[in-house]
Amino acid sequence: MIYFEDIEVGTTQSFGSYEVTREEVIDFASKYDPQPFHLNDEAAAQTYFGRLSASGWHTCAMTMRMLVDSMMERKAASLGSPGVDKVRWLQPVYPGDTLRVESEVLSKRQSESKPQMGSFQSEMTVYNQNNEPVMTMVSIALMRVRADAA
Amino acid sequence: MIYFEDIEVGTTQSFGSYEVTREEVIDFASKYDPQPFHLNDEAAAQTYFGRLSASGWHTCAMTMRMLVDSMMERKAASLGSPGVDKVRWLQPVYPGDTLRVESEVLSKRQSESKPQMGSFQSEMTVYNQNNEPVMTMVSIALMRVRADAA
């Protein structure tokens, strides 16, 4: 199990491989972001996107899936998250893209009011298969302190 | 059609009514955030959440749906968004909750490099049926300038 004490500022990680399918792009957009350029190529051709592209919120969701898979693999003592900062959708994400994530721990802080937990900030950059950054964000994660240390 | 010129700093809006179902909470979490406390009540009972609650990214997605429906109703000349700041998940969102949004325009700015568009920032607060704020964020939206003004 990985605890708050094990998080080191400056540590970088590389994880995930998520294949973006047309079916999933349209399914997500139909439910949550039914703007025409996220639903069909014809409408997208008339915009900056050029062709059907994923909702930015879908990119966030796919990134979260890669992050959760990585956390579970590392058995991180996660306690959820209070939020995220500076989400930037830099490039369109298209069906056929394969996404991956690079993260770097920016800072960490043990809670004063709840010494059994701490929080750390990470900068996440999501790349496509051409190594173009498509999204960046700064996540905040809560993590358990080792039982004998709390 | 609502254009960039029609956006006024300080304007507030209230929109949306989204019923959160157990089926949808589990479906979203299974795909994008399969942490145990988003998948079943038993695991959630051992955490801060107490019972099954929606992924924070699911709350973002549901909020986007309310926003898109509102934009389409008002025929906003939307050009997408470069990102979002200060997303904060304040309270758990539970199956059975009904969400709504209040927004306030914080600032607006015409693009210097692309005078046919402008951006504006809005603070969004999502409330549940008990009028508790469950999420806040600051969105950035791009919007078309009237053709004769660009």
Best CA proximity match to A80, nearest among B88, B76, B94: B88
- pLDDT at position A147, please? 78
Q: Which residues of B touch A49 (CB under 8 A)?
A: 80
- pLDDT at position B76, please? 85
How near does any CA of chain A get to the CA of B123, in Å? 14
Domains by residue range for chain B, with CATH = 4-144 (3.10.129.10)
pLDDT band at B49 (very low <50, low <70, confident <90, very high): confident
Mutant choice from B18, B38, B70, B85 vs A, greatest count of A C-beta within 10 A: B85
- pLDDT at position B48, please? 82
- pLDDT at position B149, please? 61
How near does any CA of chain B get to the CA of A62, in Å? 6
- pLDDT at position A149, please? 61
- pLDDT at position A82, please? 94
How near does any CA of chain B get to the CA of A10, in Å? 23
How near does any CA of chain A get to the CA of B71, in Å? 10
Mutant choice from B19, B23, B32 vs A, greatest count of A C-beta within 10 A: B32
B142 touches chain A (CB under 8 A): no
pLDDT in tens, A119-150: 999 999 999 999 999 999 999 999 999 977 65
The answer to whether B57 contacts A56, with C-beta atoms less than 8 Å apart, is no
Of all residues in chain B, the percent with pLDDT exceeding 90 is 81
pLDDT in tens, A49-81: 889 999 999 999 999 999 999 999 988 888 889
The answer to whether B48 contacts A80, with C-beta atoms less than 8 Å apart, is yes
Task: Tell me phi and psi for residue A68, to 5 degrees.
Answer: -65, -45
pLDDT band at B150 (very low <50, low <70, confident <90, very high): low
The answer to whether A57 contacts B62, with C-beta atoms less than 8 Å apart, is no
- pLDDT at position A79, please? 86
- Sign of the Cα torsion A17, A23, A24, A25 reads positive
- pLDDT at position A77, please? 84
A128 and A134 Cβ atoms separated by less than 8 Å:
yes
A21 touches chain B (CB under 8 A): no
Give mean pLDDT, residues B127-148: 94
Angle, in degrees to the nearest 10, between helices B22-32 and B56-73: 110
- pLDDT at position A17, please? 98
How near does any CA of chain A get to the CA of B7, in Å? 20
Give mean pLDDT, residues A3-23: 97
- pLDDT score of B68 more than 90: yes
Query: What residues have CB less than 8 Å from B132, skipping those under 6 apart?
Result: B90, B91
pLDDT in tens, B139-148: 999 999 997 7
- pLDDT at position B121, please? 97
Of all residues in chain A, the percent with pLDDT exceeding 70 is 98
DSSP E strands: which ranges in chain A?
A: 12-19, 83-89, 98-110, 117-127, 133-144
- pLDDT score of A106 more than 70: yes
**The pTM is what?**
0.95
B105 touches chain A (CB under 8 A): no
- pLDDT at position B144, please? 92
Best CA proximity match to B126, nearest among B88, B85, B86, B70: B88
Q: What share of chain B is helix, strand, coil (3-state, %, to 5)?
A: 25, 35, 35
- pLDDT score of B136 more than 80: yes
Give mean pLDDT, residues A98-105: 98
Q: Which residues of A touch B65 (CB under 8 A)?
A: 31-34
